[in-house]
Structure 1
């Protein structure tokens, strides 16, 4: 495990990645990698995984078909706007405030949840790429859950078992394509406005695939905000508030943000990323694993509803 870049560990996941058959995973590998992941999440809250097993061609394809959608007219995108009843569809620029003290975020998004798929997509290619990406991210997140579970001294399947309904209506795990449009030359920005305000994620784990543009910054405890520089072929993994709560603050849901490039040339480039937000099953009760009752037990869905009420 390397301490670069800038204190965010890079962990070799090759022995636990999707290139290895599930039945072939070695307990020693899970122990070794699980300890590294636990150490990263207890000090930084973030890590990079290399050799994770998701084909870069799939990531690139999903970003490409997503971008085709984001480049459509607002009128066309409005036909697929995300409503309150379904976790599917387009979210417009400035619709969200991840930091409620800042103006709306300068980003667009498209959410996909298989249980909320209306089968009314802008094109079939986008739908299929979303399904493929969701499936592979589900498989990888389960491997990360298993390693972390072992690293925490729990049974191998303990954390995975709390996420048994991923892809079903009864679990809010969501694939999100994020698009940060170019900022026109001399475009007036609202005071304090950035591409994504400071926030911690809501659920248990997040997988994040970045393009090569950069802009993500992570608030490392004791250090301050540092760039999460894109590393080709890696996935950024961090934990969310429910995992911090579950572990009685032993693991850290670190705040992060996406800033606006300082140069005019940088501002004229769009940025893309893909986030897979992993949540426990809706009715799963999050109770402190150490029995401390530091936090009151709460269901996964009730906690998510609370966080959404602040964001929108």
Structure 2
């Protein structure tokens, strides 16, 4: 099914820009809608612009659970049954992963899964991502500094609990926690890449970590081609407090506790997205 969504991406990103901007993330709640290239605010000395475009499709919008859904273009409305099917299956996989992690951490599995109920409002969403091909880069063996000038998605950790990623080309890099060097992540056909996010760091009492990663121009000849990926973000329900669930943990002071919804909004602002919480 990820292959069908990748094919959908080819069509969705060809929608005229003015139509995509009608549902831009800045016009609707949080991250949901269309994100154009070049809008992510960065604080590095080079003031580089990101090259990635996203369609962020809210789980609650697609499942009909939000009273004020983003009016996604007809191309998504026409395949809503497929989107519903994918979201439900991706969420179920996320729950299985959370159950396994909980058992290894000495947490009752239901303590973890009960904070991620699919019928409750959350930041869960399906992302279709696009990065433009770069003919110049395709004819160059990119050094680290050269790759940094061709950023699709800047370095970050994921906000939520579990991320499921399907991609078909190189370009994803993860930061080595010891050397701080960026290392390529090889895509394997038919397999998803699994990442843990900030919420899992909190739930595990810091036992697990949220890997810093980024997306740059693909290495070698791949760089000439457009890059597509399909991502599903499993996040806690908006009103869930991010706190350790591990036995014997001392609770954080009240002023240091965040709900999942507050955390996503705060991290989104740091990442450069304009948040409209009026809706």
TM-score (norm 1): 0.72
Q: Structure 2 residue aligned with 1:227, among 184, 203, 214?
A: 184
Give the match for residue 291 of structure 1: 249
In 1, Cα distance between the equivalents of 2:186 and 2:251?
37
Judge conservation of contact 2:170–2:219 (CA < 8 Å) in 1. no
Offset from partner CA, 1:285-305 (integer Å, 9 cap, x none): 122234234683221111111
Which segments of 5 or more consecutive residues in structure 1 lack a partner in the other structure? 1-57
Give the match for residue 23 of structure 2: 80
1:127 paired to 2:127:
no
Judge conservation of contact 2:240–2:260 (CA < 8 Å) in 1. yes
Where does 1:91-130 land on structure 2 (aligned, <5 Å)?
91-97=35-41, 100-101=43-44, 103-116=48-61, 117-118=69-70, 120-123=72-75, 124-130=77-83
Where does 1:171-210 land on structure 2 (aligned, <5 Å)?
171-183=122-134, 185=136, 192-210=149-167
Judge conservation of contact 1:61–1:129 (CA < 8 Å) in 2. no
Where does 1:1-312 land on structure 2 (aligned, <5 Å)?
58-86=1-29, 87-97=31-41, 100-101=43-44, 103-116=48-61, 117-118=69-70, 120-123=72-75, 124-164=77-117, 166=118, 168=120, 170-183=121-134, 185=136, 192-211=149-168, 213-223=169-179, 224-263=181-220, 265-289=221-245, 290-293=248-251, 296-312=256-272
In 1, Cα distance between the equivalents of 2:54 and 2:101?
29
In 1, Cα distance between the equivalents of 2:40 and 2:84?
25
In 2, Cα distance between the equivalents of 1:148 and 1:89?
31
Judge conservation of contact 1:114–1:167 (CA < 8 Å) in 2. no
How many corresponding residue pairs?
249
TM-score (norm 2): 0.80
In 2, Cα distance between the equivalents of 1:237 and 1:96?
24
SS at 1:286's partner residue?
coil
- The higher relative CO (CA closer than 8 Å, separation ≥ 6) is in 2
In 2, Cα distance between the equivalents of 1:129 and 1:191?
36
Structure 1 range deviating more: 247-256 or 287-296: 287-296
Judge conservation of contact 1:113–1:167 (CA < 8 Å) in 2. no
SS at 1:179's partner residue?
strand
For residue 73 of structure 1, report the CA deviation from its aligned partner: 2.3
Judge conservation of contact 2:102–2:109 (CA < 8 Å) in 1. yes
Which segments of 5 or more consecutive residues in structure 2 lack a partner in the other structure? 62-68, 138-145, 273-279
For residue 114 of structure 1, report the CA deviation from its aligned partner: 3.6
